[in-house]
């Protein structure tokens, strides 16, 4: 399984534990299918990680002036889900 790093907390873990974010039509969207073209950024399904990640999405996706509203709305819905990271595998350098 590929290892990716969460853009929010910078923890490395398996790709299945993260969600891909991508730029589409000037906005950052959640790419649940992991099939949208272009660069992607990976975050945990955790509102705190998404909030931290939104600060650097333009840099990570190499695209200026992106609307992060769709991702922020998605993170707000996650806030009450109580994400648990106990099942994740972290990687050290």
- SS3 of the chain: CCEEECCCCCCEEEHHHEEEEEEECCEEEEECCCCCCCCEEEEECCHHHHHHHHHHHHHHCCCCCCECHHHHHHHHHHCCCCCCCCCCCEECC
pTM: 0.80
Assess if residue 92 is contained within a domain: no
Per residue in 13-42, pLDDT (tens digit) is 999 999 999 999 999 999 999 999 999 999
Per residue in 59-85, pLDDT (tens digit) is 999 988 899 999 999 998 887 655 555
Assess if residue 66 is contained within a domain: yes
Assess if residue 87 is contained within a domain: no
Assess if residue 43 is contained within a domain: yes
Q: How confident is the model at residue 86 (pLDDT cuts 50, 70, 90)?
A: very low
- Domain extent, residue 17, equals 3-82
Q: Report the domain count for the chain.
A: 1
Say what the pLDDT of residue 79 is.
77
């Amino acid at each position: 399984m590929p290892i990716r790093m969460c853009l929010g907390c910078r923890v490395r873990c398996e790709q299945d534990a993260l969600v891909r974010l991508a730029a589409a039509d000037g906005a950052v969207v959640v790419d649940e299918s992991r099939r949208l073209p272009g660069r992607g950024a990976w975050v945990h399904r955790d509102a705190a990680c998404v909030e931290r990640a939104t600060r650097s999405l333009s840099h990570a996706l190499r695209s200026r002036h992106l609307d992060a509203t769709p991702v922020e709305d998605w993170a707000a819905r996650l806030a009450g889900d109580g994400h648990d990271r106990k099942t994740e595998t972290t990687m050290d350098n």
